[in-house]
Amino acid sequence: MLVLLLVLSTLSFSNCQQCQSRDYGNGGTVCVCNATYCDTIARPQRVPPSQFLTYTSNLAGLRFSQTSGTFAPRPNSSNRIYLNSSRVYQTIIGWGGAFTDATGINIESLPANMREMLLESYYSPNGLEYSLGRVPIGGTDFSVRPYSYDDGGPDPDLINFALAPEDLLYKIPNIQRAINLTNGNIKLFASAWTAPRWMKTNGDYSGYGFIRRFFYQTWANYYVRFLDEYRRRGVNFWGITTGNEPADALNPFDQLEVVGWPSWLIGDWILNNLGPTIRGSPNYSNLTIMILDDQRVFLPWYIVRALNNNRTRQYIDGIAVHWYLDLYSSPDLLDQTQRLFPEKFILGTEASVMPASYETPVLLGSWTRGEEYSSDIITDMQHWVTGWVDWNMALNPDGGPNYIRNFVDSTIIVNATSAEFYKQPTYYHFGHFSKFVPRGSVRIDCNLVLSDNSTDVDSVAFRRPDNGTAVVILNRNPTAVSLNILDNSRGTAPIAITAKSITTVLYW
Q: CB count, 10 Å around CB of 471?
A: 26
Q: Is the pLDDT of residue 15 over 70?
A: no
Mean pLDDT over the full length of the chain:
95
What is 2-90+442-507's CATH topology? Immunoglobulin-like (2.60.40)
CA neighbor of 319 nearest in space, from 288, 342, 345, 296 = 345
Interhelix angle for 172-181 vs 112-123, to 10°? 60
pLDDT tens, 188-245? 999 999 999 999 999 999 999 999 999 999 999 999 999 999 999 999 999 999 999 9
- The per-residue pLDDT for 437 is 98
Q: Is 350 a catalytic residue?
A: yes
- Spatial contact of 497 and 481, defined as CB atoms under 8 Å apart: yes
Q: Is the pLDDT of residue 11 over 90?
A: no
Q: Residue 385 carries which side chain, given as an amino acid letter?
A: V
Distance of alpha carbon 504 from the chain centroid: 18
Q: Which of 120, 129, 166, 245 is catalytic?
A: 245
Q: Is 108 a catalytic residue?
A: no
Q: In sequence order, what DSSP letters do the residues of 237-283 get, joined into one string?
A: -SEEES-S-GGGGG-TT--SB--B--HHHHHHHIIIIIHHHHHT-TT
Find out whether the peptide bond into 401 is cis, omega within 30 degrees of 0: yes
What average pLDDT does range 256-269 have in this prediction?
A: 97
Q: Is the pLDDT of residue 85 over 70?
A: yes
Q: Is the pLDDT of residue 10 over 50?
A: no
CA neighbor of 298 nearest in space, from 308, 287, 286, 306 = 306
What residue ranges do the domains of the chain occupy?
Answer: 2-90+442-507, 93-434
Q: Residue 290 carries which side chain, given as an amino acid letter?
A: M
DSSP lists the bridge partners of residue 57 as 502
- The per-residue pLDDT for 77 is 79
pLDDT tens, 303-335? 999 999 999 999 999 999 999 999 999 999 999
Confidence of residue 256 (pLDDT cuts 50, 70, 90): very high
Q: Which of 350, 371, 372, 420 is catalytic?
A: 350
Distance of alpha carbon 506 from the chain centroid: 22
Whole-Å CA distances, 288 to 5, 184, 278, 313, 386: 49, 17, 9, 13, 14
- The per-residue pLDDT for 6 is 31
pLDDT tens, 275-297? 999 999 999 999 999 999 999 99
CA neighbor of 425 nearest in space, from 482, 379, 364, 467 = 364
What is 93-434's CATH topology? TIM Barrel (3.20.20)
pLDDT tens, 162-172? 999 999 999 99
pLDDT tens, 451-497? 866 679 999 999 999 999 999 999 999 999 999 999 988 999 999 99
Q: Is the pLDDT of residue 7 over 60?
A: no
Rounded to whole angstroms, how far apart are CA atoms 52 and 34?
33
pLDDT tens, 116-139? 999 999 999 999 999 999 999 999
Rounded to whole angstroms, how far apart are CA atoms 359 and 401?
18
DSSP lists the bridge partners of residue 23 as 29
- The per-residue pLDDT for 4 is 32
- The per-residue pLDDT for 452 is 67
Q: CB count, 10 Å around CB of 141?
A: 23
- The per-residue pLDDT for 3 is 34
Percent of the chain with pLDDT over 70: 96
